[in-house]
Amino acid sequence: MPVWSGFLKPVLEVLADGKVWKRRELLEAVCNHVGLTDEQRLEPLSSGESRAENRVGWAVSALYKAELVEKPQRAAYRLNDAGRQFLDQHPNGISEKTLKTLPVYQAYVA
């Protein structure tokens, strides 16, 4: 299973369809997109939360803080124009280091 930053590009790719995704549906779609097995999806953390859910959640949160994803309503996400452009500019992958090139994300992590 990818570390949380390994889910950055898959989240953007799923959101690239332009629709508003509910959190639970987005999690399922991202897990399908990266090909996680049922066993991987159910692997728990000590908190009881699934590791997959946790990692996708961190990726979505980072993309929101980087202003590449917007929340039109509670627990719902949509790719914005900046996110679409960022995805197009990074066809070979997106890492936390890539996000740190954005001033808004730099301000968040500082």
Give me the domains of the chain, ranges plus CATH numbers: 4-109 (1.10.10.10)
Amino acid letter for position 35: G
- What span, in angstroms and rounded, lies between the C-alpha atoms of 86 and 32? 22
Q: Strand, coil or helix: what is 94?
A: coil
Q: What is the distance between the alpha carbons of residues 105 and 3, in angstroms, rounded to a whole number?
A: 19
* CA–CA dist 94, 41 (Å, integer): 22
Across the chain, the runs of DSSP E, i.e. the strands, are 21-22, 69-73, 76-79
- pLDDT tens by residue, 21-70: 999 999 999 999 999 999 999 999 999 999 999 999 999 999 999 999 99
Contact predicate 51/43, CB 8 Å:
yes
How many other CB atoms sit within 10 Å of the CB of residue 74?
7
- pLDDT bracket for residue 109 (50, 70, 90): confident
| Cβ partners under 8 Å of residue 108, min gap 6 | 65, 66
Express each pLDDT in 72-93 by its tens digit: 999 999 999 999 999 999 999 9
